[in-house]
Amino acid sequence: MSSTPALAELYAEVQLFYARQMQGLDSGKLEAYADTFTEDAEFSHTPGREPARTRAGILADLEDFHKRFEDDPLRRRHWFNMIDIDPQPDGTIISVCYALVVKIRPGKAPEIAASCVVHDVLTRAGGELLNKSRRVEYDPAL
Amino acid sequence: MSSTPALAELYAEVQLFYARQMQGLDSGKLEAYADTFTEDAEFSHTPGREPARTRAGILADLEDFHKRFEDDPLRRRHWFNMIDIDPQPDGTIISVCYALVVKIRPGKAPEIAASCVVHDVLTRAGGELLNKSRRVEYDPAL
Amino acid sequence: MSSTPALAELYAEVQLFYARQMQGLDSGKLEAYADTFTEDAEFSHTPGREPARTRAGILADLEDFHKRFEDDPLRRRHWFNMIDIDPQPDGTIISVCYALVVKIRPGKAPEIAASCVVHDVLTRAGGELLNKSRRVEYDPAL
C-alpha cells in the first residue's frame, strides 16, 4: 500500500476539516459554513426539502432553515465520526460518515435528536478542502 | 519519538479500517464483516455467549445472531472512538476503543442501546488490516 | 499547505493522547490522569468550582470530586471528538473539541449526562504531549 502515507494524511485533514466546519455551524456562523462549500455546490440536508444550490443559495437556505431556532434556547452539536474516505482519480474525495445531532436545552439532559449518514464529495481549492456536494440521509432508511 | 510518523499513519489506518468494517456491518453485509477477520480469528461479542471461532464460524454466528433483527425495522449504528493503539514487536496491533451502539426505530428518537469497550488484536495480511481477535466488553463492568 | 504532513501527524498524536488520557480517567486512575498535566497546569472542569492548579492540586481536586461516585455503581465514559487543533508559534497547541459524558448504571440504558466543549492548551515535554491547561465549558452556554 504505497498510498498509505498520503491516505493517512488525507484522513487527518478530512477530520480536521469536519471539526472546524461543524464547530462553526454549531456556533451559528452560517456564512462561514456556506464558505466551506464550492461556489457551485449542492447541499441536501433535510428529507423532503429541495437541495440548496450554489454557495449563495446554501447561505439563503441556511438562514431560512435556522429561523426555527431563533426563539429556542437550543444548542446543537453535530458529531461526525466513522469516516470512510475514497480518493477519486479526478482529485475529488468521496467521504461517507456517521453523524449524530445532539440537542441541549437548559435544565435538560442532552438528547440525540437524529442519527444520519453524510455523503460528501470533497474537492480541493487553493490547498483547502471544500464540499462540492453534501447529502444527509436520515436513519432509519430501512 | 522517532516512531511518531509511523504511529500517526497507523492510527489513521485503524480509524479508516473501523469505519469501513462497521459501516459494512450496519448495512447488513455479514459476509463482508466476517472477511475483516483472519481465518483463525476469535470473536466474542456478547456476554454469556460462546466466542465464535474461524471466519466461517464467525459468519455462522453472525447469521444466527442477526435473526433477532429480521422482523424488527431497526437500524443499528456502531460508533467506535477514543482508540488507543499499541503496536507489538510481533507486528500485531493491540487496539482498545470505546463503542456505542445506537439504535434507531421509525418514529422514535435514536437511543444509545449499549456502551462497550472493544479489545482488538489487529494483524496485517496482504497490506490490509484484519482482526485476529475481538472481545467486546459491555459497561457496566464495575 | 506545506505544513499538512506535520499537521496530520500531530492530529493523530492528539487523538491518541486523548484516548489514553480519558480511558485512564474512566478507569479511575486519578494519579495517571493528573500526570497528563504539566506541573504548573490549570484545570477547570466544573462550572462554579474554582480551577485546580498544579499537578498536585489537580490530583487533590480530583480525589475530592470523585468521592461523589464512591457509593455509586456508575461507569463514566468520556467521548472526545470533533477536534480542532491550532499549533502556536511558541510550540503549544490550542485544541478545542466536543465531549460527551456517557453514564452507565446497572440495568439501565446508557445516558448522555453532559455535552461539553473542551478548551485545551497542550505542550510537549520529553516528546510527550501534556495539558498545560484545560477548561471544560458545559452546554448550553447560550
Closest CA to B58 of B103, B96, B10, B25: B25
* C-alpha torsion B101→B85→B129→A120, nearest 10: 60
Instruction: Note whether A75 contacts C140, CB cutoff 8 Å.
Output: yes
Name chain B contacts of A139, Cβ cutoff 8 Å: 75, 77, 104, 110
Instruction: Give the largest Cα separation in chain C, rounded.
Output: 53
Name chain B contacts of A11, Cβ cutoff 8 Å: 12, 15-16
**Mean pLDDT of the region A40-50:** 92
Closest CA to A85 of A2, A10, A6, A3: A10
Instruction: Note whether C85 contacts A16, CB cutoff 8 Å.
Output: yes
Q: What is the pLDDT of residues A87-132, one digit of tens each?
A: 999 999 999 999 999 999 998 999 999 999 999 999 999 889 999 9
Looking at residue A1, its pLDDT comes to: 39
Which of A2, A15, A82 has the most B C-beta neighbours within 10 Å, making it the best mutation to test the interface with B? A82
Cα-flanking dihedrals φ and ψ of residue C109, to 5°? Answer: -70, 145
Looking at residue B72, its pLDDT comes to: 84
Q: Which amino acid is at B74?
A: L
Domain span at residue B55 reads: 4-138
- The length of chain B is 142
User: Of the given ranges (B70-79, B85-94, C26-35, C80-89), which has the lowest mean pLDDT?
Assistant: B70-79
Looking at residue A48, its pLDDT comes to: 84
Residue A55 has pLDDT above 90, yes or no: yes
Looking at residue A4, its pLDDT comes to: 66
Instruction: Note whether C7 contacts A11, CB cutoff 8 Å.
Output: no
Long-range residue pairs from C20-24, CB within 8 A, at least 24 positions apart, any chain: C20/B84, C21/C131, C22/B82, C22/C78, C22/C80, C23/B82, C23/B84, C23/B96, C23/B98
| CATH number assigned to the domain comprising residue A99 | 3.10.450.50
Q: What is the pLDDT of residues C100-142, one digit of tens each?
A: 999 999 989 999 999 999 999 999 998 899 999 999 999 985 4
Which of B74, B75, B98 has the most A C-beta neighbours within 10 Å, making it the best mutation to test the interface with A? B75
ipTM of the complex: 0.94
Looking at residue A68, its pLDDT comes to: 87
- In the sheet where B111-125 sits, what is the strand order? B52-53, B37-44, B128-138, B111-125, B93-104, B75-87
Nearest to B115 among C10, C73, C104 (CB): C104
How much of chain A exceeds pLDDT 90, in percent?
82
Band of residue A58 on the pLDDT scale cut at 50, 70, 90:
very high
Which ranges of chain B does DSSP label H, i.e. alpha helix?
4-26, 30-34, 55-66
How much of chain A exceeds pLDDT 70, in percent?
96
Instruction: Give the largest Cα separation in chain B, rounded.
Output: 53
What is the average pLDDT score of chain C? 93
Residue A17 has pLDDT above 70, yes or no: yes
Looking at residue B97, its pLDDT comes to: 98
C4 vs A101, more confident: A101
> Closest chain B residue to C5 measured between Cα atoms?
B5
Task: Write out residues in chain B with pLDDT < 70, as ranges.
Answer: 1-4, 141-142
Number of structural domains (chain A) is 1
Nearest to C12 among B1, B8, B97 (CB): B8
